[in-house]
Structure 1
């Protein structure tokens, strides 16, 4: 509890310094609101349109969570397939690398064209953005098992499935946890990119509309909600993954 209070205190202090710096820049350079609104203007925009902002934030959050769940699941399954079957690895790995080499903004319009402006294109976009991080981290963990455990598995001549279940999976859990933490940060990016290309709602939808109407205060309010979403999701995932690898010492 004390550790949590310390972290909250540090976050509040950092947030206060950021807001003070932001307000100081606006006042010092006398920036017009359409270029950089003051914190008070952004707070006022949120107070006046909180229901509208929260409604669209909920849409983005839903897309992010679904993309995160499906992306993590896809990453785990693909990593297991890559380790289990060398044939699958030779056939699937190049295709995976190609999906990561293509810019997300090049893929997003195609997904919107195929899947429409609804939820599906945003979820698939989020999955494409994050699953490689989970796949790469988990597969690396599966292949980099301790040499002593490898010798023990060979000594007892266990089957490949038993080796995976008893030795590989427990040893790879810390690497999987790291991949999941990375995915938690990048999941909102996939949803936002999908909304940016084409959507009927969401935080990116608000940003585009507000930018076109020079409502910079509303756009900043949406950005702040997005940042808070990322921070909360990262904190929840970080706490959950620490329980998954509870035997590791905290740093």
Structure 2
């Protein structure tokens, strides 16, 4: 816990330093506020429009959290299935690789067309963005077993399921935890891309609407909320995943 708190304090110190540099650069350069507003103006917007901004941030957060949940769940199930059933792996892996090669901006309009402008298309988009990270990292962890444990499995003639439950699953937990941490950082991207293509609310909706009106103070306020959401989600995932592999030491 001490290391976790130290990491949070270090991040806060860096953010404060960046805000100070931002303030100085805006003052020294004399750039117009409609192009780059200062941190004071953005802070006033955050305070004055708090209810409006938090409402739209809650929409994006809801989409992100559900996308993260479904992405982790389905990704873990697929990774386990790929290892337990070699025949399914031969069919599924090529399809998975092809789908991941498609850019997210190409998929988003189709999802909006199929599932509408509501939450469903954004949740599916967030799920797809992180799905591959979970599947690939967890599956890689399941494949890479210590040679000594592999020999032990053959010595005791364990079935494939017994080997998975007793040896491979515990060994793959650090890789699974790493995949969740990666997914937590990328989960908001799917929701934002989905909102960007078409939405009735959310942070990307604010970015589009107020950028068109040259109200960059509101745009920067929305970006700060989005960055805060990513940081909080990342740190929560970092702390929570430590319980998946408590034996793993960290620097």
Residue 242 of structure 1: SS of its match in structure 2?
helix
Give the 3 Å change call, closer, same or farther, for CA 7–141 of structure 1 in structure 2. Answer: closer
Question: Is the Cα–Cα contact under 8 Å of residues 177 and 244 in structure 1 kept in the other structure?
Answer: yes
User: In the alignment, which residue of structure 2 is the partner of 1:99?
Assistant: 99
Per the TM alignment, residue 4 of structure 1 is displaced from its structure 2 partner at its CA by: 5.0
Q: Does 1:175 align with 2:175?
A: yes
User: In the alignment, which residue of structure 2 is the partner of 1:249?
Assistant: 249
User: In the alignment, which residue of structure 2 is the partner of 1:239?
Assistant: 239
Per the TM alignment, residue 6 of structure 1 is displaced from its structure 2 partner at its CA by: 3.5
In structure 2, stretches of 5+ residues that fail to align are none
Give the 3 Å change call, closer, same or farther, for CA 102–231 of structure 1 in structure 2. Answer: same
Whole-Å separation in 2 of the counterparts to 1:156 and 1:232: 45
Q: TM-score, normalised by structure 2?
A: 0.97
Per the TM alignment, residue 179 of structure 1 is displaced from its structure 2 partner at its CA by: 0.5
User: In the alignment, which residue of structure 2 is the partner of 1:46?
Assistant: 46
Give the 3 Å change call, closer, same or farther, for CA 6–174 of structure 1 in structure 2. Answer: closer
Per the TM alignment, residue 66 of structure 1 is displaced from its structure 2 partner at its CA by: 0.2
Question: Is the Cα–Cα contact under 8 Å of residues 99 and 128 in structure 1 kept in the other structure?
Answer: no
Whole-Å separation in 1 of the counterparts to 2:162 and 2:67: 31
Per the TM alignment, residue 9 of structure 1 is displaced from its structure 2 partner at its CA by: 3.5
Residue 210 of structure 1: SS of its match in structure 2?
helix
Whole-Å separation in 1 of the counterparts to 2:173 and 2:3: 25
Residue 34 of structure 2: SS of its match in structure 1?
coil
User: In the alignment, which residue of structure 2 is the partner of 1:57?
Assistant: 57
Give the 3 Å change call, closer, same or farther, for CA 231–97 of structure 1 in structure 2. Answer: same
In structure 1, stretches of 5+ residues that fail to align are none
User: In the alignment, which residue of structure 1 is the partner of 2:212?
Assistant: 212
User: In the alignment, which residue of structure 2 is the partner of 1:35?
Assistant: 35
Moved more, 86-95 or 105-114: 86-95
Whole-Å separation in 2 of the counterparts to 1:171 and 1:116: 41
Q: TM-score, normalised by structure 1?
A: 0.97
Give the 3 Å change call, closer, same or farther, for CA 2–67 of structure 1 in structure 2. Answer: closer
Question: Is the Cα–Cα contact under 8 Å of residues 4 and 239 in structure 2 kept in the other structure?
Answer: no
Structure 2 matches for 1:141-156, cutoff 5 A?
Answer: 141-156=141-156
RMSD between aligned residues:
1.1
Question: Is the Cα–Cα contact under 8 Å of residues 138 and 176 in structure 1 kept in the other structure?
Answer: yes
Question: Is the Cα–Cα contact under 8 Å of residues 141 and 173 in structure 2 kept in the other structure?
Answer: yes
User: In the alignment, which residue of structure 2 is the partner of 1:202?
Assistant: 202
Whole-Å separation in 2 of the counterparts to 1:226 and 1:124: 19
